[in-house]
Chain A
């Protein structure tokens, strides 16, 4: 099967600090990874699409400088929430594309900014 591991599963941080979330495809190479944000009882909102070795493509309204995405290898993408504020508290999910025909998801990260 295709396994995507997202870490950490939950994190609490102080306002003004930065938090890094990792997304790894464990048994396949993912040329494209997607980052989503999900509010309670709502759908997944696409934040950005990242391709290995190139800059991420952000969706309209998503602050590039606040949500830094790095796709350094075919198995790892990271999302860094910089200068986090309480309004950034949310559930963040990554997804890795396998040959652009399927997408598999990490377990998600619950971020709480206090």
Chain B
């Protein structure tokens, strides 16, 4: 079974600074997707960024970028120029597309605080 590990329960960053959230996963599959979701206090899950495992190039979305290391099974999220609105719970997720057994599995999350 696939597992997703986020080793940082909480992180804090100063406004305008950069922060990196860690995520590792365990899988025997070669084809899969990885995501970072943001959950603000409203509890609405918001997709931040996605990465296809077959792509070597790291995904980037404005101030958000990932460092995808497939061999190491690592998928960290970097937030540049942090803003107060970035404060939220961040979840790393693995989407298994092995055969017909589709499954979206989450890590335990990292609570990000942005200090003014």
How many residue pairs link A and B with beta carbons under 8 A? The number is 55
* Binary interface encoding of chain A residues 68-109 relative to chain B, with 1 for a CB under 8 A from any of its CBs, else 0: 000000000000000000000001010101001111110110
0 or 1 for each of B70-108: is its CB under 8 Å from A? (1 = yes): 000000000000000000000101010100111111111
Q: Which residues of A contact B108 (CB under 8 A)?
A: 42-43
A105 with B106: in contact, given A44-B91, A100-B97 (CB under 8 Å)? no
Q: Which residue on A lies nearest to B33, using beta carbons?
A: A101
- Within 8 Å by CB of A46, from B43, B52, B104, lies B104
Q: Which of A42, A44, A97 gathers most chain B CB within 10 Å?
A: A44
Query: B residues within 8 A CB of A57?
Result: 101
- Whether A43 pairs with B97 at a CB distance below 8 angstroms is no
* Contact assessment for B106 and A44 in the assembled complex, using a CB-CB cutoff below 8 Å: yes
Residue of B nearest to A32 (CB): B102
B interface majority secondary structure: strand
Q: Chain B residues near A34 (CB, 8 Å)?
A: 103-104
Return B53 CB to nearest CB of chain A, in Å: 11
Interface size on B, residues (CB 8 A): 23
- The answer to whether B47 touches A104 (Cβ under 8 A) is yes
Cα of A105 to Cα of B39 in the assembled complex, Å: 11
Q: What are 20 sample pairs from A and B whose C-beta atoms fall under 8 A apart?
A: A34-B103, A34-B104, A38-B43, A42-B108, A43-B106, A43-B109, A44-B106, A46-B104, A51-B100, A51-B102, A57-B101, A93-B43, A100-B95, A100-B97, A101-B33, A101-B50, A102-B33, A104-B47, A105-B44, A108-B44
Q: Which 4 A-B pairs have the closest CB atoms?
A: A105-B45, A43-B108, A44-B106, A32-B102
12 further contact pairs, Cβ within 8 A, besides A44-B106, A46-B106, A103-B104: A43-B107, A46-B103, A49-B102, A91-B43, A93-B43, A95-B104, A97-B95, A100-B95, A101-B52, A102-B47, A102-B50, A107-B44
Q: Which positions in A face B, CB cutoff 8 Å?
A: 32, 34, 38, 42-44, 46, 49, 51, 57, 91, 93, 95, 97, 100-105, 107-108
